[in-house]
Structure 1
Amino acid sequence: MSADEGVYAYSAVLMGSPILLKLFDDNAALAAQVFRLIRHQENILTVNRAHSEVMAINHAAGKEPVCVSREVFDLIQCAHQVSLPPHSLFNFTIGPLVKRWKIGFQGRSVPPQGDLEKLMALTDPREVVLDPERRSVFLRQPGMEIDLGAI
């Protein structure tokens, strides 16, 4: 924490990014609450750890639907809707490319064209089945992966 002209700054590295929170009051308890909320979102949405709700969906690709919490389902449903238009610049099923390219990690490099073409076949948001009643998400093809990092 640091203070600069009545503004108090708190920082942490969460979701793979440095976060700087500025408050007009010296309120470490509020800052801790904000960071807990961000950590909770990271824990359920991350694809950079073996266990999260999104990773459970990715691990079940091509096998079975996965029921998730309301907050995860709602975010995925929104990402799905934004990804569907033919000329959308957003695609939440980009996971296989992000992983192969190692975007955001050491060793990142442009994969060979053949690898990219194979992986592109796994990035069709129309291959994601959402069931709002069950709050389940099913990736129809093995190898598909959701990545919500762009959000």
Structure 2
Amino acid sequence: MKAPIFLFALFFSLVNYGQQPYKKTLKLMGCHFEITLVAKDSMTANRQINTAVIEITRIEKLISSWDKNSQTSEINRNAGIKPVKVGVELFQLIKRALKISKLTNGAFDISYASMDNVWFFDGSMTEMPSKDIIKKSVEKVGYQNIVLNEKNQSVFLKKKGMKIGFGALGKGYAADKAKILLQKSGVTSGIINASGDLNAWGTQPTGKEWLVAIVNPLNKEKVFSWMPVNNSAVVTSGNYEKYVKFNNVLYTHIIDPRTGYPATGVLSVTIFTKTAELADALATSVFVMGAETGLNFINQLKGVECIIVNENNKMITSKNIQLKTIKND
């Protein structure tokens, strides 16, 4: 449902105060991960980055719906048949996902993976799908049909053919877990960036904050403003690279799991909060809700802020956001 887009410009000071940032870009979980750590030398940094890679790879094996040996695939295979006992980590991840589904009235839903593919964003679509086809595409979607049994630690999908997937929070969760592991191993500052799902901690070697740029969705060379990232996560979802247009309406690749129709009216959503997992899920949710409803929703949550760019390329912020505007000459 969600394909986060890399929107961030990170500003580094390379002045050497005994330590400096080391960066490595890798392909993990089917996307680009950029891991930046502040370390005393490249050997130390590479060893620590490898620790993060091992953790991210472990998470992928746990939540992948493509790996037939994963616990997630086992749950999907047994949809409509029987509950599947899973490990504590996956059970708790699904439990948190269901809480977000209830909180957002289904705007976020890990059973989105059950949707039939009726929308294509590769240029091949020439007309709108029919209402009947769209309605049928979401018949097996519905977080209410995911049954968790705390005692048995099992997961059951009620409908045969149902599937769950973690595309809307998996990379964020992996970034969070890698960050925790690195902090425990003594890394005092760094950034895990999973294709736009970003989690940062500590500061630059000079003591200055890490900064993230909020770019213009219609021109990624231009920056609207910048925000400091203080031991928190930032996730942006955007629709301006994958979309179709019918009757002068732009339909994004981010689809409302309740209706089967793509979200409209928003170009990008950036969420700031403590974990990339939560930010990832909320970015999708706000995109589906739309600018007005999404903003009202975020303003009711403690410790969460957002920046929305609407279809008119106007930037709207939640109540506690303070921006420093950057002029683009």
Q: Does 1:138 align with 2:159?
A: no
Match of 1:93 among 111, 119, 129: 111
CA distance in 1, matches of 2:160, 2:128: 20
Residue matched to 2:75: 57
Residue matched to 1:129: 147
Matches within 5 A, 1:2-81: 5=14, 6-25=20-39, 26=42, 27-81=45-99
Q: Counterpart amino acid of 1:139?
A: L
Which secondary structure does the structure 2 equivalent of 1:61 belong to? coil
Distance 1:35 1:94, change over 3 A: same
Distance 1:58 1:19, change over 3 A: same
Which secondary structure does the structure 2 equivalent of 1:94 belong to? helix
CA distance in 2, matches of 1:139, 1:74: 16
Which secondary structure does the structure 1 equivalent of 2:111 belong to? coil
Which secondary structure does the structure 2 equivalent of 1:116 belong to? helix
Which structure exhibits the higher relative contact order, with contacts defined as CA atoms closer than 8 Å and separated by 6 or more residues? 1
Q: Displacement of 1:117 after TM fit?
A: 1.7
Q: Counterpart amino acid of 2:31?
A: S
Distance 1:16 1:101, change over 3 A: farther
Distance 1:19 1:136, change over 3 A: same
Query: Which consecutive residues of structure 1, in runs of 5 or more, have no partner in the other structure?
Result: none
- The normalised TM-score by structure 1 is 0.84
Greater alpha carbon shift after TM alignment, 78-87 vs 14-23: 78-87
CA distance in 1, matches of 2:22, 2:67: 32
Query: Which consecutive residues of structure 2, in runs of 5 or more, have no partner in the other structure?
Result: 1-12, 15-19, 170-329
Q: Counterpart amino acid of 2:52?
A: V
CA distance in 2, matches of 1:73, 1:120: 24
Matches within 5 A, 1:105-120: 112-113=129-130, 114-120=132-138
Q: Is the 8 A contact 1:101 1:108 kept in 2?
A: no
Q: Displacement of 1:89 after TM fit?
A: 2.1
The count of residues paired between Structure 1 and Structure 2 equals 146
Q: Is the 8 A contact 1:127 1:140 kept in 2?
A: yes
Aligned-pair identity in percent equals 25
CA distance in 2, matches of 1:84, 1:112: 29
Residue matched to 2:270: none
Q: Which structure has the highest helix share of the two?
A: 1
Q: Counterpart amino acid of 2:38?
A: F
CA distance in 1, matches of 2:92, 2:53: 22
| RMSD of equivalent CA atoms | 2.6
Which secondary structure does the structure 1 equivalent of 2:57 belong to? helix
CA distance in 2, matches of 1:82, 1:90: 7
